[in-house]
Structure 1
Amino acid sequence: MRYQKKSKYGNKKVFRYDHWFDSIAEAEYYPVAIAYADQYGYELKLQDRIDILPTLKLNQWAIKKTQYVADYAFYHRGKLVRLVDVKGVETKDFKLKAKMIARELGLVIILAKKKKGGFVEYPFNMPASKRKEVR
């Protein structure tokens, strides 16, 4: 018998729309992402892994590469144009990786937060005081 380890932030993996999602909110955002991709003619990729730092070999040991796993990545003609992350909690790791993505790729990650009646989207670097206006 296998027991699923409880998530640190209370997320529950769910299977919907023929895909596994890391949270219920992420699964509920899927129709919004599909509609956005269709509207602009983008290709949508789920759980897309983006290399931030390559593997670094020092002495005889290596430091593993650093990756960012985007919940939703939108591509136009093979070029990455938009990243969306469905978040409940913004961790220090996420903030650091988001800054690295912004510097290396010139993209600001869009955060999607579940609210009553849908989702609210805003750039991760928007100050908390300004986010209240969006809600």
Structure 2
Amino acid sequence: MPGVVRRAGFRALGVVAVTALLGFGIHLSRPAEPVLAPAAPSLTDVPASGSDRQWELRGARVGDDGTGFFTGEITVTNQASRARTGLFRLTLSAGGTKVADLFGQVRTAVAPGATVVVELGLGGAFVPGPYEVEFHEAFA
């Protein structure tokens, strides 16, 4: 009788092992859940002009980054007589109330008279415009 009990125990253990392996195999064969990427930013032109420390602001575009935060880009021209980098701040106000400070940086030296597009970030929660714009260059 002990041999019968032992065989039944091994048979039960085998059934459990096969069931676990089949379950794991089915789990691995399921398609992965799709990863939802945020929507691409939708940038709109903002009336903007000005200059600071020999950087001239030629244009600005801002919008929602797809996750509910500000993003944007500015177009600036180096008006100095030497190549240089820059750190920029674009302050946005809506209805006279400040809604965001967006920051961007040019890490590669920009030649005198050259124009570049600078990506902006760190703007805080998105607030619809229209906007008033203030442009600053932090380091010459």
TM-score, normalisation: structure 1? 0.23
The structure with the largest strand share of the pair is: 2
TM-score, normalisation: structure 2? 0.23
The structure with the largest helix share of the pair is: 1
Question: Rg: which structure is higher?
Answer: 2
